[in-house]
Chains A and B, each alone.
Chain A
Amino acid sequence: MAVKIVTDTLSDITEDLAKELDVTVVPLYVRFGEEIYRDRVDITSEEFYRRLVSESALPSTTQPTPNDFLQVYNRLVEETDEILVIVVSSKLSGTYQSATQAKEMMKGKCQIEVIDSLSVAMGMGLIVDSVAKAVKEGADLKTAAGLARSCISRSHLIAYFDTLKYLAKGGRIGKASGLLGSLLSVKPILTVREGEMAPLTRVRSLGAGLDYFYNFAASCSGIQGMAVEHATTPEQADKLVERLSAIYPKEKIHRAVISPVIGTYAGPNAIALTILEAEKK
């Protein structure tokens, strides 16, 4: 029986892509005051960002419950006996714990492997994409899990934030705290390093940020996958895709929208680029 893959909404895998890849996506939760929404199930990204900017109280986010995963496992167990779960960095969310607890509740009814992607957004999405394709070609659980692990070190996410305000208030700032408190208005460029947000550099404008992305991509050799995501500025992300297509005409560049849960920390106007390096032979 074929391995079934489960991930969470922070992978930024769209509904269409999930269908195409045969991946189950478990939603995290976003809370505005007393109202709780399932990420991109009960609230659209557009609606979320509108409220993020207009409401004074910041939203908060919660991982899926163990029961959320348990239900998915129980459904999948009817079709398979091997499940591979790839979730958001355990340093950024408790999703990994929930997925693992649910695995224990299954009491060995099925082979389940939970992998901490140590990344987020398409940084994790491209790993899922790559593994799902391998499964389609017949990879078993052990091979698929091995591939996922090897992808982790090859997945590079860099993100332009218009502000660190949301990241700081949400307590997820990690090592990027060194970028706080600048007296000039600067825009941080961050990456995810060992599962945590870490600073790369700073720029003064979105234009300079996009140049940085472009140079970053241009300096990479052997690209297996690429993704560009936006929060509220699709036209800027499209511009970047256009420039990147010019230097990488053959590669497919995934386009995605940054999940509201990540948006809670990234804030509006954020742009992210992920590059999945090809395996070195």
Chain B
Amino acid sequence: MARKKTVAGQDLRDMFSAATSWLEKSSADIDALNVFPVPDGDTGTNMMLTMRSTMEEAYRAPDHSAAGVAHAMAKGALMGARGNSGVILSQIWRGLAQGLEEKETFTAADLADALQQSAKVAYKGVSNPVEGTMLTVMKDAAAAAQAQVDAGNEDIISVLDATVSAAADSVANTPRLLKVLKDAGVVDAGGQGVYTILEGALRYLRGETELMRLRKPQIIVSELPYTAPLPQVSGVDEVPYGYCTEFLLKGEKLEPDVIKKRLEKKGESLIVVGDDSAVRIHIHTLTPGNILQFAAKLGTMHQVSIRNMDEQHQDFLEMQKERMPTTDMAVIAVASGDGLKDIFGSLGAASVVPGGQTMNPSTKDILQAVESTFCDNIIILPNNKNIIATAQQVQSLTEKKVAVIPTRTIPQGVAALLAFDYEADFKTNTELMEKAMLSVKSIEVTRSIRATKINGLKIKRKQPIGLLDGELIAAGTSNADVIDRLLTRLNIEKAEVVTIYHGEDAEAEEAEQINTDIAGRYPHLQIELIKGGQPHYSYIISVE
């Protein structure tokens, strides 16, 4: 493996130039990830344009030392920074330049130092740093470089390799830190951009320029399950995003810190960076005029850009729609219990309306979910026999095309949702789903609310009782006993998969025990135990 102890200014320039081309290939993919702070879908493009300006300046610089190149990069970045991410990126280069001050060439230790400084300066530029963004990725990457150096590693390539891996892990972790990413099922766009730049630089140092020409950077995939956001319960009040306002302020004796303080209350996502002669300002505000008026008193404004973010957001939604595997069909499910809601979300339901046994949602609740879903063709899974009629009423209340699959239980709903075919049309899908829902047997275990006689069973109040496909056919001494009785009624030799959803009333230990018992008795089954968290039913079991 190639090893490298020092890097000269020329190489510093070439490695980030290669990284810029690398980023360029990925900028459209990064745009599509962009949901924070404003889902306007331009992070990749902004970072790419910022990098271009950064590198143009770097090639103009007369000083070819590492310090000289880094300084030119910082200057180019500040002058050409675009958008939130671009401005933060410019701070990363500024930090790098500070870290490489007076260096003719740099070593692994210098690089680690400089990256640490980059992270520090980047945090400082943002008035309220948020974790789970490119700031976090930069910090984690820098920490990894430092750890390598502390462990005695002097080879720049392997130090950078560890840095890039740490950046990748950090990107994958962003949805855990920032809920809007988790809800959208994406990683942070700016973080992905930082990772791509570092990776591009690494590949250059490894001599993979030919490979870089043929390949494309990878978008990191989060391992966090994607859970669909729940529909808003009250009316859809959209908070306006306002105007993304940015410009370069030139003048004398400018005081970035003072300017930052003055603007702090004027809007969101404020970034003020620069020195006493040039300051870049970026803010999301409802009143861009006030910002400009304030700035005009301090100096001259350049590269003024004011963009309506609500428009950008709309464009972004359109772009997102194009990227979805299916664009014109969505499934809405009714379920309650955090576990069950997440299950439906993770399986691709566009939204989950809260409701179930003894807590039926209103037609209006379902209608609202239908209207707030971005598709014109909607399939509803009521998952309860008392909700089917309610769901069907929605059909006459909306312009959208709505089909109700008459699922009577949660297992039927899950089976129907799984059968959704990404390439089939609406009619075929409803047929497939109706057929699939009949392929499972549903067991529901609850407690009787009063003493009664039914189906030849004498039932005491609060006794565990079991339903098979909605019909009460067993009563027992315990939940496990009831489940036993029901399983023996089924043709279980033919079954392959048993899924046990335990409810909010079920004890985890008891659920584990039931799981172990069934596995012991029917070794050919694939059994899955899941916390459904549903009220009313201590257990819902699907057998298929």
Q: Is A180 an interface residue (CB 8 A)?
A: yes
Q: List 16 A-B contacts (CB under 8 A).
A: A94-B215, A168-B221, A171-B218, A176-B325, A180-B226, A182-B225, A184-B530, A191-B423, A198-B422, A198-B423, A201-B419, A204-B526, A204-B544, A205-B497, A205-B526, A208-B544
With A168-B221, A181-B185, A181-B223 as given contacts, are A203 and B418 in contact (CB-CB < 8 Å)?
Answer: yes
Verify if B377 is at the interface (C-beta below 8 Å from A): no
The 6 nearest A-B residue pairs measured at CB = A181-B225, A171-B218, A205-B496, A183-B346, A204-B497, A181-B226
Of B214, B418, B422, the contact of A186 (CB 8 Å cutoff) = B418
Render B212-249 as a binary contact track against A, CB cut-off 8 A, 1 for contact. Answer: 00110011011111100000000000000000000000
Point out the residue from A171, A184, A198, A203 that lies within 8 Å of B528, measured CB to CB: A184
A59–B52 alpha-carbon span in the complex (Å): 35
A201–B422 touching, CB < 8 Å: yes
The answer to whether A184 and B343 touch (CB under 8 A), given A175-B325, A191-B423, is yes
Residues of chain A contacted by B218 (CB below 8 angstroms):
171
With both beta carbons as reference points, the residue of chain A lying nearest to B324 in the complex is identified as A178
Chain B residues whose CB sits within 8 angstroms of the CB of A207 once the complex forms: 496
Q: How many residues of A contact B (CB 8 A)?
A: 30
* Residues on the A chain within 8 Å of B346, using CB: 181-184
Question: Who on chain A is nearest to B226 by CB?
Answer: A181
Contact residues in B for A176 (Cβ distance below 8 Å): 325
Q: For the complex formed, measure the closest distance between the CB of B440 and the CB atoms of chain A, giving whole angstroms.
A: 9
B393 adjacent to chain A (CB < 8 Å): no
Main secondary structure on B side of the interface with A: loop
Complexed CA–CA distance, A224 and B169 (Å):
47
Q: Which of A178, A183, A200 has the most CB of B within 10 A?
A: A183
Mask of A127-154 contacts with B, CB within 8 angstroms, 1/0: 0000000000000000000000000000
A204 to B419, CA, bound (A): 10
- Are the CB atoms of B414 and A184 closer together than 8 Å? yes
Contact B421 A200 (CB under 8 A): yes
Contacts of A85 in B (CB 8 A): none
Contacts A181-B346, A191-B423 supplied; 10 other A-B pairs, CB < 8 Å: A181-B185, A182-B346, A182-B347, A183-B343, A184-B343, A185-B528, A193-B423, A201-B420, A201-B422, A205-B544
- Are B226 and A186 closer than 8 Å at their CB atoms? no
B42 contacts partner chain A, Cβ-Cβ < 8 Å: no
**B214 lies within 8 A of A180 (CB):** no
Contacting pair A173 B325 (CB below 8 A)? no
Does B418 lie within 8 Å of A201, measured CB to CB? yes
- The distance in angstroms between the C-alpha atoms of A205 and B495, with both chains bound, is 10
Q: Given that A181-B225, A183-B342 are known contacts, is A199 also in contact with B325, CB under 8 Å in the complex?
A: yes
Given contacts A178-B324, A201-B419, contact A94 B214 (CB under 8 A): yes
- The CA of A177 and the CA of B348, in the complex, are separated in Å by 11
Kindly state whether residue B499 has any CB partner on chain A within 8 Å. Answer: yes
A residues less than 8 Å from B348 (CB atoms)? 178-179
Residues in chain A within 8 A of chain B (CB atoms): 63, 94, 97, 168, 171, 173, 175-186, 191, 193, 198-205, 207-208
How far is A175 from B327 in the complex, measured between Cα atoms in Å? 12
Residues of B within 8 A of A186 (CB): 347, 418
Q: Which of B215, B221, B414, B418 contacts A180 (CB 8 A)?
A: B221
Kindly report which residue of chain A lies nearest to residue B348, judged by CB atoms. A178
Cα(A117)–Cα(B499), bound, Å: 41
Q: Which of A175, A198, A202 has the most CB of B within 10 A?
A: A202
Q: CA A204 – CA B496 in complex, angstroms? A: 9
In this complex, what residue of A is CB-closest to B498? A204
Q: Tell me the smallest distance from the CB of B415 to a CB of chain A, in Å.
A: 8
B530 touches A202 (CB 8 A): no
Q: Cα distance A199–B325 when bound, in Å?
A: 8
Give the residues from 510 to 527 in chain B that come closer than 8 angstroms, CB to CB, to chain A.
526
Interchain CA distance A185-B544 in the complex, whole Å: 14
Chain A residues positioned under 8 Å from B343 (CB to CB)? 183-184
Bound Cα distance A183, B348 (Å): 11
Decide if B530 touches A201 in the complex (CB within 8 Å): no
* Nearest residue, chain A, Cβ from B218: A171
**A181-B224 contact in complex given A199-B325, A205-B496, C-beta closer than 8 Å:** yes
**Given the complex of chains A and B, what is the CA–CA distance between A180 and B226 in angstroms?**
8
Find out whether the CB atom of A202 lies under 8 angstroms from the CB atom of B225.
Answer: no
Question: Would you give the shortest CB distance from B529 to chain A, in whole angstroms?
Answer: 11
Q: How far, in angstroms, from A203 to B419 measured CA to CA in the complex?
A: 7
CA distance A207 to B214 in the complex (A): 40
Task: Report the nearest A residue to B429, measured CB to CB.
Answer: A201
Q: Report the minimum CB–CB distance from B375 to chain A (whole Å).
A: 14
Chain B CB count within 10 A is highest, among A176, A200, A204, for A204
Residue numbers in A under 8 Å from B419 (CB-CB): 201
A200–B422 contact, CB under 8 A? Answer: yes
Among residues 483 to 525 in chain B, which have CB atoms less than 8 Å away from a CB atom of chain A? 496-497, 499
In angstroms, how far is the closest chain B Cβ from the Cβ of A189? 9
Per-residue 0/1 for B526-541: is the Cβ within 8 Å of any A Cβ (1 yes, 0 no)?
A: 1010100000000000
Cα-based distance from A97 to B339 in the complex (angstroms): 47
**Chain B contacts with A in 176-193, Cβ cutoff 8 A:** 185
Within the complex, what minimum Cβ distance (angstroms) separates A239 from chain B? Answer: 14
- In the bound assembly, the distance between CA atoms of A123 and B544 in angstroms comes to 31
Chain B's nearest CB lies how many Å from the CB of A200? 6
Given contacts A178-B324, A178-B325, A182-B346, contact A202 B226 (CB under 8 A): no
**Residues of B close to A205: CB separation below 8 A:** 496-497, 526, 544
In the assembled complex, the Cα of A53 lies from the Cα of B300 at a distance in Å of: 63
Once bound together, how far apart are the Cα atoms of A198 and B418, in whole Å? 15
Min Cβ gap B156→A in Å is: 20
Q: Are A208 and B496 in contact (CB under 8 A)?
A: yes
Nearest CB of chain B from residue A174's CB, rounded to whole Å = 9
Q: Which residue of A is nearest B528, CB measured?
A: A185
For A181, the chain B residues whose CB sits under 8 A away are 185, 222-226, 346
Minimum Cβ distance to chain B for residue A254 (Å): 24
Across the interface, do A177 and B221 meet the contact criterion of CB distance under 8 Å?
yes
B418 — which chain A residues lie within 8 A by C-beta? 186, 201-204
Question: A178-B324, A181-B226 are known contacts. Are A97 and B347 too (CB-CB below 8 A)?
Answer: no
How far does the Cβ of B518 sit from chain A's closest Cβ, in whole Å?
A: 16
A195 vs chain B, min Cβ distance (A): 14
Cβ contacts under 8 Å, A177 to chain B: 221
A172 — nearest CB in chain B belongs to which residue? Answer: B218
- Name the CB-closest residue of B to A191: B423
Distance, CA A198 to CA B325, complexed state (A):
8
Residues on B with C-beta less than 8 A from A199 are: 325, 422
**C-alpha spacing A199/B418, complex, angstroms:** 12
With a cutoff of 8 Å between Cβ atoms, the chain A residues found around residue B223 in the complex are 181
* A204 to B530 Cα, complex, angstroms: 15
Which B-chain residue is minimally distant from A98 (CB atoms)? B214
CA distance A202 to B414 in the complex (A): 11
**Chain A contacts for B222, CB-based, 8 A:** 181
Report the nearest A residue to B1, measured CB to CB: A34
Encode contact with A along B423-467: 1 for CB under 8 Å, 0 otherwise: 100000000000000000000000000000000000000000000
Q: Give the distance to chain B from A92, nearest Cβ to Cβ, in Å.
A: 12
Question: In the assembled complex, which residues on chain A have CB atoms less than 8 Å from the CB atom of B324?
Answer: 178
